[in-house]
Structure 1
Amino acid sequence: MHVMIFGCGYSGTAIARAFAGDGVRISGTTRSAEKMDALGQAGIKAYLFDGETLDEGLIQALADVTHLVQSIAPGKADPLLRLLGEDSASLLPRLEWIGYLSTVGVYGDHKGAWIDEETPCVPVSGRSKERLEAEAGWLAMGRQRGVPAAVLRLSGIYGPGRNAFCNLEKGTARRLIKKDQVFNRIRVEDIGAATRFLSDHSLGGLYNITDNRPGPPQDVIVEAARLMGVEPPPEQAFETAELTPMARSFYGENKRVSNAKLRAAGFELSFPDYPMSLAQLWQDGRWRG
């Protein structure tokens, strides 16, 4: 097995860890030469990829890739789909499985209602519309190649080094209050495990990769502060808070995302809800990363 992860950042590295084992080669791309050493230390053969060209070394590496994971944001068009074009069969002759990391943002706003993979997508932001187009492209490639292509729609990602404890320590945590607003989350280790699970079972199609417990974002801050033994930041009304346009746009979408399809396939989350996950992060001391 040779796993190639395009965009081997926070989630990509967790996916690499989930695949690591005897007989598994893991490669990953980064835009930054400075990050190549860190990937190497994690057991990942690193390649530079700028989203514009496939250099000779990367082309040679693709020749025996069996499992392709794409986690790079598409922009106006998915950079890898564009470069592979009609040549995917010659560039990836041994391909057995495709995983594409997307976002639950493609669903848009559903006024806090429960949604699943059958729910129509009404994306609000331009970036979510681009993700939806990229999803269609990867599913089409899977059909064209006759291999399973799984689209992993991720909720808000957190884990070691990226969590409410870190934000409280840095003084950047905010307790924004917007009536009836909820979000789902997903622990980064569960992203890795779910990717491995879908590939091991040769599963394709749409899957929500999300926890069991959507909830108000301010409750996560309060729970983390309780565990740390510190005072949570004061409540702020969302309507009057100073926010970047991107941060404000997240609050324009309100939904409860179901993971029933993933669980019905047999996958069990290691971190099914944020209270137990935060407690675990705090107790094992790895919350700083």
Structure 2
Amino acid sequence: MSEKRIFIFGAGYSGKAFARANREAATTVGGTTRSVEKFEALRQAGIAPLLFDGALTGELTNALATTTHLVISIAPEEAGDPVLNAAREAIVRMPALEWIGYLSTVGVYGDHGGAWVDETAQCRPVSKRSAMRVAAEQDWLRLGREIGRPVAVLRLSGIYGPGRNALVNLENGTARRLVKPGQVFNRIHCDDIAGALWHLIGDDTGGIFNVTDDEPAPPQDVVAYAAALMGITPPPEIPFEAAQLSPMARSFYGENKRVANAALKAAGYRFRFPDYRAAFDHMWASGDWRDGAPRSPMKR
């Protein structure tokens, strides 16, 4: 197997899960963060860290020169995609580049009144941040066509996993059960984001893929399921109209859709956690739900 040299712009929660998932000898992973203080966390995940604050440095240019697979996990801004703005010309000239992956969001679909959507559905984003995502997706797909390289756009649903889930929220007292009749959300465990990325990289597969679980579900049901695993009483239901929410949180509830994942399955990927129950059962049994370090489940 030829060596893959992978570079992640924006090696955050999903990027670290990706690097941890496959530390094979024929792969090296580099990635960026905006803070030197986060370097050690990246190193522990198996990522060689570099700084990126919107400007292309000599170190970044050198890293790109040997990169075979480029992953973008940085949100666009009003001025456009920060990576394209800073490094487009360097990317065009990357001699070893074989594939580009862009991590987007199912928010690009906007509101479909609870109906099912797949990758052929019209993008009608509601929020400004999702509209910027649509534009960034198109910019990356256009660049791929220009340079003759496959681009995979991964549209992610609500991300959870160790340290970021309803079990943690119940333990620290921040879990709430907001109820908006008919509202559902899809979710995706970070291990399946990692798995989907590795799968698409394996065959240099391009295209648009919804990376999401099989079961869109009301958010209050997820909290109740986590509470049952913990053997505690779930928090009371709160009518959506009475909830105190930030404008961003409220905007999420303004979009209701069921997102299908058949395209990713057709590409050969099999989900590790096809629904939230499978994932929560695993996290609770393994004890890795707090921060990824296995331990005994919390005693109550």
- Which of the five TM-score ranges fits, normalised by the shorter chain? over 0.9
Match of 1:155 in 2: 157
Match of 2:189 in 1: 187
Match of 1:33 in 2: 36
Match of 1:78 in 2: 81
Q: Cα distance, 1:20 vs. partner?
A: 2.2
Q: Cα distance, 1:19 vs. partner?
A: 4.1
* Whole-angstrom distance in 2 between the partners of 1:42 and 1:236: 38
User: Does 2:44 align with 1:8?
Assistant: no
Structure 1 segments (4+ residues) deviating >2 Å: 17-20, 84-90
Aligned counterpart in structure 1 of residue 175 of structure 2, from 167, 173, 176: 173
Q: Which moved more, 1:110-119 or 1:77-86?
A: 77-86
% same residue? 59
Q: Cα distance, 1:61 vs. partner?
A: 1.0
Match of 2:166 in 1: 164
Aligned counterpart in structure 2 of residue 252 of structure 1, from 238, 247, 254: 254
* Whole-angstrom distance in 2 between the partners of 1:18 and 1:137: 29
User: Which structure 2 residues correspond to residues 1-289 of structure 1 after superposition, within 5 A?
Assistant: 1-51=4-54, 53-76=55-78, 77-90=80-93, 92-289=94-291
* Whole-angstrom distance in 2 between the partners of 1:248 and 1:15: 30
Deviation per residue, 1:1-41 (Å, 9 max, x gap): 11001100100111222342112111010001100111112
SS at match of 2:104: strand
Deviation per residue, 1:239-267 (Å, 9 max, x gap): 11100000000000000000011111111
* Whole-angstrom distance in 2 between the partners of 1:190 and 1:85: 29
Q: Cα distance, 1:161 vs. partner?
A: 0.6
Aligned-residue CA RMSD in angstroms? Answer: 0.9
* Code of the aligned partner of 1:261: A
* Whole-angstrom distance in 1 between the partners of 2:51 and 2:89: 23
Could you tell me which runs of 5 or more consecutive residues in structure 1 were left unpaired when the two chains were aligned. none
Q: Cα distance, 1:173 vs. partner?
A: 0.4
TM-score (normalizing by structure 1): 0.98
* Whole-angstrom distance in 2 between the partners of 1:143 and 1:19: 29
Q: Cα distance, 1:195 vs. partner?
A: 0.5
* Whole-angstrom distance in 2 between the partners of 1:15 and 1:275: 22
Q: Cα distance, 1:54 vs. partner?
A: 1.0
* Whole-angstrom distance in 1 between the partners of 2:72 and 2:21: 15
Could you tell me which runs of 5 or more consecutive residues in structure 2 were left unpaired when the two chains were aligned. 292-300
* Whole-angstrom distance in 2 between the partners of 1:218 and 1:269: 23
* Code of the aligned partner of 2:200: L
* Whole-angstrom distance in 2 between the partners of 1:286 and 1:180: 32
